[in-house]
Amino acid sequence: MSSLSKVVVIISITSDIGIALAHRYAKAGYNIVGTYRSTGQLDQLSKISNLHLFSCDIMKKQEIVSFVKNFETLGLKWDTFISLPCTPLPLKAFFECDFDEWSESVHLNAIEQLRLLHHLHPFRNNTSISDVVLFAGGGVNNAVINFSAYTISKIMLVKMCEFMDAENKDLNIFIIGPGWTKTKVHYITLENVDKNSNKYKETSDFLSNHKGTSMDDIFECVSWLCNQGKDIASGRNFSVVNDQWQGRKNRILAEELKKDSNIYKLRRFKNDLLLNN
């Protein structure tokens, strides 16, 4: 199927990454279906043709159902599903959180994204393998203080990629960590952490002095992983910044991934040490 007839669904298309991806998919000739919760940045999508926009707050089950019905009326079948909803809140230690707020964060960052994918799955293009792209964040390999809801949600999505890959022969599903990217999330962080904390200083320094991951790199990484297909990309967790998917070594990376099904997945590391008696 040529890109001119392919369909990409972008959940939270008015996020900074969503807007950037929408423009790049439009340039590639895709039909684009996007959901949004706030209208503040819709004007940045106004010049895109072949774009269908739907209001959808994924925290409201009925709005997910309504969106899927609206998608069905378009008569389209999706080839690529990209999910971007994200909140770092509540930025407090676990036992200092209001538990309902903590739980709502886990739902937005993970569970409701999975609910939407579950509802939309029957409307994929089943003549080929469909691509599902989820987004990871920091803290998968360590404990980022006061970010437990956000981080545990991302770990859930990492593992769900492995489950859904194993259960579905028709999905190439993976999750990528974009690294430090200049998005609104960092400003939310600054508004909600102690100004004397290391997190505040780290985030403020990044926003003031660093460019961050480029939107082109994020798009190109997603495209490379979609093109590599199920045997290489699916079920895995990738880093846009740290993995060698660009340049001459990407062929070597692809070969290693194909050979070892445990690479780039949640696994015990250095915990299998056996001491001699």
Q: Quickly name the fold that domain 3-185+215-259 has.
A: Rossmann fold (3.40.50)
**Secondary element (H or E) of residue 39:** none
CA distances from 150 to 24, 89, 101, 137, 140 (A): 27, 7, 12, 8, 10
Q: Would you call 140 exposed, middle or buried from its count of C-beta atoms within 10 A (0-12, 13-18, 19+)?
A: middle
pLDDT in tens, 99-117: 999 999 999 999 999 999 9
- Over residues 16-36, mean pLDDT: 97
N residues, the chain: 277
DSSP state, 96? G
> Is the model's pLDDT at 276 over the cut of 70?
no
pLDDT band for 2, please (50, 70, 90 cuts).
very low
User: Per-residue pLDDT tens for 237-272?
Assistant: 999 999 999 999 999 999 999 999 999 999 887 666
The predicted pLDDT at position 277 comes to 57
pLDDT number for residue 1: 39
Q: What integer is the mean pLDDT of 52-73? A: 98
Residues ≥6 apart with Cβ < 8 Å to 186: 203, 206, 207
H-assigned helices in 179-274: 184-192, 198-209, 215-228, 230-233, 250-259
Residue 142 pLDDT level (bands cut at 50, 70, 90): confident
* pTM for this model (two decimals): 0.95
